[in-house]
Each structure stands twice: as structure tokens, then as C-alpha cells.
Amino acid sequence: MKTTRSLLLSALLLLPACALARQDTNEPLDAALIRSLQPGKTTAREVVERLGAPTEVVQLGRRTAYRYDASATKSTALILLLVNFANQDTRTDRLWVFFDENNILTHHGAWYGTHRPQYAMPWEDVHEAEDNAEADAERPGVGK
């Protein structure tokens, strides 16, 4: 009986625990909305009306550039008695819009990544081309 108790106690102490967590910052960018922006026509006011307040405004001489972004982080941990293994994978959506001195859109560039982070252990391969393609296919406006 004493041996059984000792074995059970040892097993309980040595049993691993797993943890998963996800943290998002800002809403993912809307690819369809961004595609509606028209260089030479869309104004800074219209961009703000459609996308909201930017994260950052940068002065470029007489020009300005606005940054919009969002991020998603997936964390995985295997917690053992003496050692822990943890993986943290963060991907971001980013949009930069550039305006001339009259606040007319001249350029914009976007990157979509918040649908790509993966729960994985630190020794696993992640973000292989097939993984990204599969994730892209499931996000409206991003997959080709």
C-alpha cells in the first residue's frame, strides 16, 4: 500500500502539464477594404473613416505615412518538473499608406500574417510553404 502511494505520488509529480495561450492585438486588417483604396483618389480623411485611427503617423518632409497593424501570438508550453519547453509564435498584419502634401493617397502596401501563427513545440518545424498556403486559403481576400 505504501509502495502504491509512493508510486502514485511520484507519477503525479512527474506528470507533464501543457499550456496554450493566444494573444491578439488590434483587429486583423480587412483585405477587401484595403483593396478599395485608390492611389491618386482616396484622401487621408477617407482612409481614416474606413480604417479608423492609425497606430502611427510618420512625417516624411511634406508627405505623411500612416501605419495600421495587428498581431497574433500563439504560445505553447510543456511544463515538466525540472525543465519547461515553450514556443511563442507571433505574426503581424501591416498596412502603410502614404499621402502627398495634399493628403491624397499616393502609395500603399499591406502584409497579412495574423492568420499564420501556429501552436507548436519548439522543436517542430513551422511556417513551411504548405502551412502558409493552407492558412492563406482560409482567410478571405488573402489567398490566391
Partner 1 sequence: MKGIAAALLALLAAGCVQGEYNRITVDEPLREELVAPLRPGVDTLAQCLAQLGAPHRVFEYRVGQDGTSGAALLWVWREAAGWGVDVSGGTEEASGSFSFDLTNTDLPGCVLWFGPDLVLERWQRGTLGDLLPGRQRPSAQPAD
Binding residues for partner 1 (CB under 8 A): 13, 21, 23, 25, 39, 58-63, 65, 67, 71, 73, 75, 77, 81-92, 94-96, 98, 107-111, 113, 122, 126-127
Helix H, strand E, coil C: the string for 43-60 is EHHHHHHHHCCCCEEEEE
- Is the alpha carbon torsion for 61, 58, 116, 29 positive or negative? negative
Identity of the residue, 1 or 13, whose beta carbon is nearer to partner 1 in the bound complex: 13
Cα distance between residue 16 and residue 78, in whole Å: 7
Could you tell me which of 89, 36, 92 has the C-alpha nearest to residue 69? 92
The H or E element containing residue 62 is: none
Nearer to partner 1, 43 or 124 (CB): 124
Minimum CB separation from partner 1 for residue 75, in Å? 6
In the complex, minimum distance from the CB of residue 90 to partner 1, in angstroms, rounded to a whole number: 4
Minimum distance from CB of 7 to partner 1 (Å)?
17
Q: Measured from the CB of residue 49, what is the shortest distance to partner 1 in angstroms?
A: 20
Q: Which is nearer to partner 1, 1 or 130 (CB)?
A: 130
C-beta of 71 vs 103, nearer to partner 1: 71
CA–CA separation, 121 and 106 (whole Å): 43
